[in-house]
Chain A
Amino acid sequence: MSTVIQPSSLSPDVDNTIAPEPGFRAAIMHMIFGRKSTVFALVVMLIFIVVAVLAPWISPYDPLAQSFLSINKPPSAAHWLGTDQFGRDVLSRMIHGSRNSLLFGLISPALAAIFGTALGVTAGYFGGAVDRVISRLIDLLLAFPELLLAIMIAAVLGGAFWNIIAVITVAFIPGFARVARASTLAVKQEPYVEAAVAVGLRTPTIIIRHIIPNIAAPIVVLMTLWVASAIRLEASLSFLGIGTRAPNPSWGNIIRDGLNNLFGSPWPIIAAGFAITCVVLSFNLFGDAVRDVLDPETAE
């Protein structure tokens, strides 16, 4: 009987030292301005978006205008980024190309993340027959290389803008579904999900409020990583004549064309490669910041 615990007075807890937590809006402001790299990433993203929107007004030349007199020129006052093998102004082509590349690069991973996550969470949360059907479908998609899949779908649907978006989206869905399913399986076991059931929450609420926020971190990171892949995939499709068709510029086909003329003028590849790197890097940095807000524990 001596182990019977003596009821003690309900004294206030010892660890009263934690600073009060700021609200959600303050947390977002902190996320944006708390780290220099995030500010930098946002500025870079903003610049690219502004350039893409204002393309027709700010590009110094017609991106399609060829000039026999200025082939393979290095950067100069007249052509800031030099010219390609047809004498076209690289800067103008970059500016116009940013429209196609950013649209494909952003919309497709975002759509793939939405559909892929929905599929993966459904499979992971409900399990059983639902899981088997969805997982086999995903396996089926995974069995094809992304490019091959994209070519097949594009060949059937044709090369219109939304078709290309759809093609790249479908090609990316399996990756998101896989990650979402695996994460859901792990999160589903957590006691707080059981606690949510015990509180009386219904399944859709549990999935939206408790599962998805907890699996968002890897998905957001994956999404930012695939911005680059989407730009690259669009370039490959362009090369095959189903993406952005030559002579219209996109960053992908600027690289593609430049590769054949590497020794003539390296400037198109350098410019486009740099632009893609900047965009991808800034999206990754931004993704990290978003992840930190979604998962306050790792942010500390």
Chain B
Amino acid sequence: MTQTPMTQAPVLAQGQSATATTKPARPLLKVENLSVEFGPKASPIRVVNGVSFEVDAGGSVGIVGESGSGKSITSLAVMGLIPSPPGRIVEGRVEFEGTNLLEMQKARLPDIRGRDIAMIFQEPMSSLNPVMTIGDQIGEAIKLHEKMSREQRRERIVELLKLVGIPNPEGRLGAYPHQFSGGMRQRVMIAMAVACNPKLLIADEPTTALDVTIQAQVLELMHKIRRTLNTSILLISHDLGVIADVCERVVVMYAGRVVEEADVKSIFRNPSHPYTRGLLQSIPRLNDERSRLYQIPGSVPLAGTVKKGCPFFARCPDRIGRCAEEMPPMFAVSKSQRAACWVTAGANEGATAAVTAGVTAGGGVSEGATA
């Protein structure tokens, strides 16, 4: 609790009124001030700290950050999959179509999972049950959420396998996961996830374990899913290339906080947070003249060790005295971009006045700049 001294109450109020007046269409998913703690209650470790973002219906948002920045935990929190104990969500709201999932009865969550929100996991090699045929595994979700006869279900599974590009789908229903390559397993995972036409698809590093050519195919598949099923996508990745390919908006996380949030073009053309700039510089290029690759000096602070000031302070090339003392709130940099950095805010004179800590992705940002 001590790490969030910022003006939370007024910020929330402002964010709500803003969405109420200027943006009548409510976002599909709205995460507000989400904080997750792990460990004993007496000395908790905060791994996600006041994270807010939105995903519009049909939109695609990427969360990017190094390992340990809390992006996977954020996605698990949305699904209600934080292992508890030792983890717990200490504050915030996860609103899906206007319902706060965190206040929902535990027993009703399974109705939402798989049907409205589906998830693709990091490791396709181990995310499929080795003793079940893939037909059965895909069928499980359908059986659960939709009333269909056996034949209808079978047809639907074949259709899904066709959609994700598995050759000879009829012949593969009885195959076991170990007979598939990593890329094909990830396709099966995607087929499982979209089996009930979910409104939101959360993909947690869906391409990390795959080689580059397969990555491209899986990303193309996600585009196809979005086009054909009109599914919103929340993509978690540490790879800005992947994010750039799939997402319209980007949320940059660092040490459990959102440090920058913008549309994908602004992130690449005008990165405003020093951390984002560091990430972009770290991307190796084929036509690179440098003999050594760039790296951000130091490493992500251990969760819970930053007690005050900006979590990026120790590694920041642009730090000023204020950064060590006060956590910067989100400043609007432009109409569709915000960053939590005192230096950037200082450089952008006009933006300094418009302090808005509630991050909103998917278009809810403009109020901050114009206020």
Contact = CB atoms under 8 A, between A and B. Distances in A.
B130 A214 contact: yes
B236 interface: no
B192 interface: yes
Contacts of A8: 213, 216-217, 220
A6 B216 CA distance: 7
Contacts of A16: 167-168
B231 interface: no
Interface residues of B, number: 66
A197 B113 contact: yes
Contacts of B114: 198-201
Nearest to B122: A191
B84 to A, nearest CB: 11
B174 A22 contact: yes
A297 to B, nearest CB: 5
Contacts, number: 149
A195 B244 contact: no
Contacts of B144: 199-201
Nearest to A190: B126
A214 B131 contact: yes
Contacts of A30: none
Interface stretch (B25-33, B178-186, B296-304, B346-354): B178-186
Main secondary structure of the interface of A (DSSP, over half): loop
A198 B216 contact: no
A4 B129 contact: no
A5 B176 contact: no
Given A191-B127, A194-B121, A18 B79 contact: no
B245 A5 contact: yes
A15 B179 CA distance: 10
Contacts of A23: 174
Contacts of B213: 8
B141 interface: yes
Interface string A254-297: 00000000000000000000000000000000000000001111
Interface in A6-58: 6-16, 18, 20-24
Interface string A191-228: 11011111111100000011001100000000000000
B178 A296 contact: yes
A7 B216 contact: yes
B168 A15 contact: no
Given A21-B175, A195-B121, A200 B242 contact: no
A2 B85 CA distance: 43
Nearest to A26: B174
A199 B172 CA distance: 21
A113 B248 CA distance: 54
Contact of B133 (A10, A21, A192, A200): A21
A217 B212 CA distance: 36
B41 interface: no
A299 to B, nearest CB: 10
A200 B129 contact: no
A1 interface: yes
Interface string B119-158: 1011100111111110000001100110000000000000
B90 interface: no
Nearest to B164: A10
A213 B166 CA distance: 26
Nearest to B173: A21
24 contacts: A1-B244, A1-B268, A3-B283, A4-B244, A4-B245, A5-B215, A5-B216, A7-B220, A7-B223, A13-B184, A20-B174, A20-B175, A22-B174, A196-B129, A197-B113, A199-B141, A199-B192, A200-B111, A200-B115, A201-B140, A213-B129, A214-B130, A295-B130, A295-B131
CB-CB nearest 9 A-B residue pairs? A200-B114, A20-B171, A200-B113, A199-B114, A21-B174, A191-B127, A200-B110, A198-B119, A21-B175
